[in-house]
Structure 1
Amino acid sequence: MRVTQSMLSNNMTRNISNSYERLGKLQEQISSKKKFTKPSDDPVAAMQGLGYRTDLNRILQYQSNIGEVRNWVDSTDDALDKTVLALQKIRELTVQASNGTLDASQRDYITREIEQMKQQIQSLGDTEVGGKYIFNGTKTNQRPSSTGFSGGVIELEVYNGIKLQINTPGKQLFEPLVGDTSITPASPGYLDTLITKIKNDDNISAELANMDKHIDNFLSERASIGARQNRVDLMDDRLSQQEVFSTRILSNNEDIDIERAIIDLTTQESVHRAALGIGARIIQPSLMDFLR
């Protein structure tokens, strides 16, 4: 087969064009740090990347949920801790009031201090996290001290099929102490009864056992909160590990080895320069160039 000058020129042009394309792809990979920038570059890797990215996004959402659970649980623990301190203070005042040597004015002073502690406990029952009342069951948009405490459990999914309870309904904890404000007139709570008994000097020492029961209820709930905090920590660690694994898998699928890509680019540049040099030597001036 006769090889013409035109064939040499066309082959050289095509080869140099292909070389430019390879250079462009390598430069694009280095600038984007990705193996491909559109699905057609590597359809299989692109499809796998969709699955890997979905897994990673799901883990990130679970981590966000874990953060929300932690906020609620830690805030609940803090509120219960402060409530226990207030109840212990009320118990100390009750012990003082049970002293038969106190007169009416002294007992009145004690009842006023207990009333302040009651208001403190009531405000703790109104604890908010992110604008939501954490002790009001599922009715998180309603203030318990205004509408009464509601029940119901709130859970968040923290892993595939795994949910954690984030709230502690205050109906069984706070309402027995401060009363039920959801009815009119509001029903009194235990602290109201205690205040009345202290004012009337009515067998006050017998109330110490009742105080201990309320304190024990809160301490028991704090123990449950502690177990829940441990569960949150374990799930947080697990999700952190899963995030590392998923990120590594996604990176292996999509990200380039930058050192290797730079070497490939340098090699391709050398090849390209060689192709240009060889092409220049092949395309020599023809007879027609001299006849012009």
Structure 2
Amino acid sequence: MRVTQSMLAGNMLRNLSSSYENMGTYQDQLATGKKITRASQDPVVAMKGMNYRSQLSGVEQYKRNISEVHNWMDSSDSSMNEATQAMQRVRELTVQASNGTYEGEQLANIAKEIRQLKEHVGSIANTKVNDKYIFNGTNTTAAPVNMDNAAFTINQSASPVMIEVSDGVRIQTNVNAGNVFNEDLFNDLESFANALESGTDLDEFLGKFDGHINNIVNERADLGARMNRVELIEDRLATQEVSASKLVSDNEDADIEKVIMDLKTQETIHRAALGAGSRIIQPTLMDFLR
């Protein structure tokens, strides 16, 4: 086959174009720090990257969910601690009033404090976090305790709040308010205040209030167990996030040292190609006519 001048020039241009493309690829890797900038450059890397990033996004979402879980649980625990303190004060007043040394006016003053504590417990039951009632299950827009009347109507039809914190793992984040802020609690407080004012027997109330305090303590214990489980899940998610981030990095990040060496090598090759090309296109008709 006869090699013509045009064939030499065409090969030179194709080789130079390929050299420019290689240098452009290395420069993109240096600028972005990534192996590829388009899926067409390496479909396998692109597909793996999508899977790894999806896994990482899932872990990050679960971590955001756990932050919401902590918000609910910490607020619930703090509120129940306040409720416990209020009921312990009720118990102290019950013991004082039952010793038989207080007169009518003194008992009436205790009754006033009992009703204030009743109001306080009701306000605790209506605690809001981020404009959500945390003791009313999934119905977070309605107050669980109606404080507009003496009966303190309790909404006990609330469903538990379940938040997914890991693949297939959903955990209850709220407290069953019916076990803590139930109608019996408010009725017993009101009955005790009435008994103080009327001077009737007070012996039965100490046992009732001890029962309500135990209900709060038991519910806090259950909440504490769930909080401990959430911390274990949070630690596992942190480990999974590190692993997923490493997979993404290993799959997508360019080896900068290697890229620099490849670019320098390609620049040398490109200069050699330009030198060879200059020798190919140098002879012209004018060179022979001189």
> What TM-score, normalized to structure 1?
0.90
Deviates more, 1:80-89 or 1:256-265: 256-265
Preserved contact between residue 73 and residue 229 of structure 1 (Cα < 8 Å): yes
Shift of 1:93: 1.4
Corresponding residue for 2:250? 252
Q: Match of 1:149, as an amino acid?
A: N
Deviation of 1:269 after TM superposition, in Å, equals 1.6
Provide the residue aligned with 2:113 in structure 1.
Answer: 113
Q: 1:209-228, CA deviations, whole angstroms, 9 ceiling, x for partnerless residues?
A: 21111111111111111101
1:171 to 162, 172, 178: 178
The counterpart of 2:271, out of the listed 269, 273, 290, is 273
2:10 is matched with 10
Instruction: Report deviation, 1:289.
Output: 4.4
Q: SS state of the match for residue 171, structure 1?
A: helix
Could you tell me which residue of structure 2 aligns to residue 23 of structure 1? 23
After superposition, what is the alpha-carbon deviation per residue over 1:109-149, rounded to whole angstroms, capped at 9, x for unaligned? 11111212111111110112222211112322101123632
3-state SS of 2:163 partner: strand
Q: Which moves more between the two structures, 27-36 or 217-226?
A: 27-36
Q: 2:196 corresponds to which letter in structure 1?
A: I
* 8 A contact 2:69–2:163 mirrored in 1: yes
1:185 is matched with: none
- The answer as to whether partners of 1:137 and 1:149 remain within 8 angstroms in 2 is no
**Does residue 149 of structure 1 match 2:183?**
no
Quick one: distance in 1 between partners of 2:279 and 2:179? 94
- Aligned partners of 1:136 and 1:171 also within 8 Å: no
Distance 1:202 1:261 in 2: 91
* Aligned residues of 1:155 and 1:163 also touching (Cα < 8 A): yes
| 1:218 aligned partner | 216
CA distance in 1, matches of 2:275, 2:188: 98
Are positions 1:33 and 2:26 aligned together? no
CA contact (8 A) 1:137 1:154 kept: yes
Pair 1:230 & 2:228 matched:
yes
Give 5+ residue unaligned stretches, structure 2.
147-152
For residue 189 of structure 2, the aligned residue among 188, 191, 196 is 191
1:83 positional shift: 0.5
- Contact persistence 1:95–1:205 (CA under 8 A): no
Q: Which moved more, 1:38-47 or 1:212-221?
A: 38-47
Secondary structure (helix, strand or coil) at the match of 2:225 reads helix
CA drift of 1:88 comes to 0.6
| Distance in 2, Cα, partners of 1:64 & 1:258 | 33
CA distance in 1, matches of 2:185, 2:209: 13
- 1:140 alignment partner, SS class: coil
Per the TM alignment, residue 177 of structure 1 is displaced from its structure 2 partner at its CA by 5.1
The answer for the alignment partner of 2:201 in structure 1 is 203
Residue-by-residue CA offset, 1:14-48 (whole Å, 9 max, x unaligned): 11111100111111122122211121111122122
Q: Is the 8 A contact 2:90 2:117 kept in 1?
A: yes
Aligned to 1:67: 67
Contact 1:62 1:159 in 2 (8 A): yes
Q: Is the 8 A contact 1:173 1:218 kept in 2?
A: yes
- SS of the residue aligned with 2:178? coil
| Alignment check: 8 A CA contact 1:136 1:142 kept | yes
- How many angstroms does 1:178 deviate by? 5.2
Specify the code of the residue in structure 1 equivalent to 2:216. Answer: F
**Does the CA contact (< 8 Å) of 1:122 and 1:178 recur in 2?**
no
For 2:124, give the aligned amino acid.
Answer: L
How far apart in 1 are the matches of 2:138 and 2:280? 83
In 2, distance between residues paired with 1:148 and 1:213? Answer: 19
Tell me the amino acid that sits aligned with residue 139 of structure 1. Answer: N
Deviation at 1:95, TM superposition (A): 1.6
Q: Report the Cα offset of residue 201 of structure 1.
A: 2.7
> RMSD between aligned alpha carbons?
1.8
Bigger mean CA deviation after superposition, 79-88 or 258-267: 258-267
SS at match of 2:179: coil
Shift of 1:193: 1.1
The runs of at least 4 consecutive aligned structure 1 residues that moved more than 6 Å come to none
- Deviations 1:237-268 (Å, cap 9, x if unpaired)? 11111111111112211221222222222221
Alpha-carbon distance, 1:190 to partner:
1.5
In 2, distance between residues paired with 1:234 and 1:89? 36
